[in-house]
Chain A
Amino acid sequence: DQQVKQNSPSLSVQEGRISILNCDYTNSMFDYFLWYKKYPAEGPTFLISISSIKDKNEDGRFTVFLNKSAKHLSLHIVPSQPGDSAVYFCAASVGGYNKLIFGAGTRLAVHP
């Protein structure tokens, strides 16, 4: 029973264009959503979060959009850079103590 799903295992984008990573969830009780980025042989790094009472949050080149009616969120990276090539995980928080449920990840490749 996957409560957080990232249906695209991979995405390829040209440098300078927009990258859009998608995430769907099933539990309407999630109160926060977070995105992490992971390079090989490293731990995930926190990127950006959004509260369930918001529909948008921006931080530099990264914007997260939340559509509660569709139980869908997306991460936009503009403009995409080669250094953005990594695996991106969507995660959701529920039940207190910051416990997170993670999606399976999407591998982003940004090519020149």
Chain B
Amino acid sequence: NAGVTQTPKFRILKIGQSMTLQCAQDMNHNYMYWYRQDPGMGLKLIYYSVGAGITDKGEVPNGYNVSRSTTEDFPLRLELAAPSQTSVYFCASSYREVNYGYTFGSGTRLTVV
């Protein structure tokens, strides 16, 4: 019963490099999300998906892309990494009913140097 699995846990990127953060869930949740958390700040929504093939922008989408080809997987792509993208990234999934809350992954700590 893995829940939400994120890989990698840590990564250092050089400015201008690209990478994909992986996220997979095994709870058959339709809704999935990517958030970033900067020091001393709350989590901010980057992108979300309400089902396979359906994605939309959140509050801070610039510099990122997503895809959702299956119910289970929701990768986040960083193109041309910048120091401003240094953050901790959390993937989450949920049922349609908001009162059950999200299940979060353990996070990816990304540093861009």
Tally of B interface residues using CB under 8 Å:
28
Q: Which residues of B contact A103 (CB under 8 A)?
A: 42
Would you call B45 and A46 a contact (CB within 8 A)?
no
Would you call B40 and A43 a contact (CB within 8 A)?
no
Q: How far apart are A46's CB and chain B's nearest CB, in angstroms?
A: 3
Q: Which residues of A contact B74 (CB under 8 A)?
A: none
Please encode chain B, from 7 to 45, with 1 for each CB lying within 8 Å of some chain A CB and 0 for all others.
000000000000000000000000101010000111111
Within 8 A of B (CB), among A80-112: 89, 91, 93, 97-105
Q: Which residues of A contact B98 (CB under 8 A)?
A: 31-32, 34, 49, 93, 98
Name the CB-closest residue of A to B105: A43
Complex CA–CA separation, A89 to B92 (angstroms): 15
**A36 within 8 Å of B (CB atoms):** yes
A49-B98, A98-B102, A99-B48 are known contacts. Are A43 and B42 too (CB-CB below 8 A)? Answer: no
Complex CA–CA separation, A4 to B45 (angstroms): 14
Name the CB-closest residue of A to B90: A43
A41-B106, A42-B107, A43-B107 are known contacts. Are A105 and B100 too (CB-CB below 8 A)? Answer: no
> B31's contact among A34, A97, A104, by CB below 8 Å, is which?
A97
**A45 within 8 Å of B (CB atoms):** yes
Q: How far apart are A49's CB and chain B's nearest CB, in angstroms?
A: 5
Q: How far apart are B10's CB and chain A's nearest CB, in angstroms?
A: 10
Question: Chain A residues in contact with chain B, CB under 8 A?
Answer: 4, 9, 31-32, 34, 36, 41-47, 49, 51, 89, 91, 93, 97-105
Question: Chain B residues in contact with chain A, CB under 8 A?
Answer: 4, 31, 33, 35, 40-45, 48, 50, 56, 58, 90, 92, 94, 96, 98-107
Instruction: List 13 extra interface pairs beyond A36-B101, A42-B107, A97-B31, CB under 8 A.
Output: A4-B42, A43-B90, A43-B105, A44-B102, A44-B104, A51-B99, A89-B43, A91-B42, A98-B98, A99-B48, A101-B42, A102-B35, A102-B44
